[in-house]
Chains A and B, each alone.
Chain A
Amino acid sequence: MARSDVQLMLEAKAGNDASFEHLLQRYRTPLVNFLYRMVRDSATAEDLAQEVFLRVYRARHGYEASAKFTTWLFRIATNLALNRIRDTRHQQMEVSLDATTNEDDAAPMELPARELRVDQFLIEQDRTALIRRAVESLPEKQRIAVLLHKYEEMDYCEIAQVLECSDAALKSLLFRAYETLRVQLAPLVGLAVSPAPAVPAEAGKRRLS
């Protein structure tokens, strides 16, 4: 019988590094995927996941089995990811402010039109890229809510704790996020109504169905 996260963490607290190794094996893939979808870079995602595990390891002596382990784990991951996103955004702003650009030479900003996305999709046949872009373009809080709800199957209560909001606020947040995705992915959603595309073996877990 598989030991629970709490049990493994308490064993790690008692000095059993093998139990911590079990936790690493259990959560390495979900954590790296969550962080990858947050920061959009696999190397950065792995760096942050490493930092998450290190922080959990360092904090093992003070661990209390009062909260769910996954809530704690993804809360650390969320904070690290948001900090990294803000740092990166700040650096990009500095670069763009430092760069002396001639406004006449600058290319006009192109707003992505919905038809253009459909065209891209039809030409590239890249459904995955379209889905990834839609998820990644969600506001941070909505994105975290969708990733934890859809792909990590966390309870409303757990996600609400990670995002520090009420259950009701979370349900509203999730609704707005899925509503945005429904609009963004309208061509795919329309196509998917009949016949449903084959789901890859490594695809995310089933929610909302």
Chain B
Amino acid sequence: MKYEMNCERIAESLIPYLDGRASAAEQRELEAHAAVCAACKTRIEEFRSLSVVLEELPRMQPSVAFDARVRQSIAAEPRASWLGWLMPAPRFAFALACLLALFAWTSRIEPNVSDGASSSAQSEQDFRIIKDLDVLENYDVVKNFDALSELPAAQQSQAGPDQNQSKDQDGHI
């Protein structure tokens, strides 16, 4: 779409034109307009003149102490050390701490579970020892057991077959 250059549109292309960055088409249009518009022609000349005037503004030099102050402030900055590589970012550190806490918590529960398992294994082992005790298989030991002799006669006669039964069952309770 082609726009016709006029006094208002010159605002869009005058700066690029003076900088030598306007397109060929923009340049042609602007020059064509300036050829027929005295006000815009004057404006272009005054903008050029203004550019020269603005260059009169001197550039100041930083003070002698400036560089030293900058170097000093940079030297005061903490240096990156090998420890810095080990230091994780705050969010990562927080996540890691949470994971460790979770691990520690679950570790406290797990021993209880393993204790239960070991205690059941222990009682099973105890049962096996009791079951295989020689004393129950040895009839002489049972017969001569002092505690049994102190029992009343009725109980003794009752206890006798029980002992025999025990023996019949090959010592298995």
Contacts and interface: CB of A to CB of B under 8 A. Distances in A.
B11 A175 contact: yes
Interface stretch (B46-54, B117-125, B135-143, B163-171): B46-54
Contacts of B74: 17, 20, 53-54, 57
Q: Choose among A32, A54, A192 the residue with the greatest number of B CB atoms under 10 Å from its CB.
A: A192
12 contacts: A36-B60, A54-B77, A61-B80, A149-B15, A171-B12, A171-B15, A172-B11, A178-B50, A181-B50, A199-B52, A203-B57, A208-B15
A95 B19 CA distance: 44
Interface stretch (B32-40, B61-69, B98-106, B149-157): B61-69
B66 A197 contact: no
Nearest to A33: B59
B66 A131 contact: no
Interface residues of A, number: 57
B18 interface: yes
Contacts of B51: 150, 206-209
B56 interface: yes
A134 to B, nearest CB: 9
A114 interface: no
B58 interface: yes
A185 interface: yes
Contacts, number: 141
B80 A168 contact: no
Interface in A168-209: 168, 171-172, 174-176, 178, 181-182, 185, 188-190, 192-193, 196-197, 199-200, 202-209
A181 B55 CA distance: 13
A25 B62 CA distance: 11
A171 B67 CA distance: 35
B62 A46 contact: yes
Contact of A50 (B14, B21, B46, B70): B70
Interface in B1-16: 11-16
Interface band, chain B: 35 or more
Contacts of A205: 55
A26 interface: no
A21 B74 CA distance: 10
Nearest to B62: A32
B10 to A, nearest CB: 8
Nearest to B14: A175
A162 interface: no
A42 B62 CA distance: 8
Q: Choose among A127, A132, A209 the residue with the greatest number of B CB atoms under 10 Å from its CB.
A: A209
Nearest to B51: A208
A24 B67 contact: yes
Given A29-B62, A50-B69, A53-B74, A131 B57 contact: yes
B67 to A, nearest CB: 7
Nearest to B63: A46
Interface string A9-25: 00000010100110011
Given A24-B70, A49-B66, A207-B19, A202 B58 contact: yes
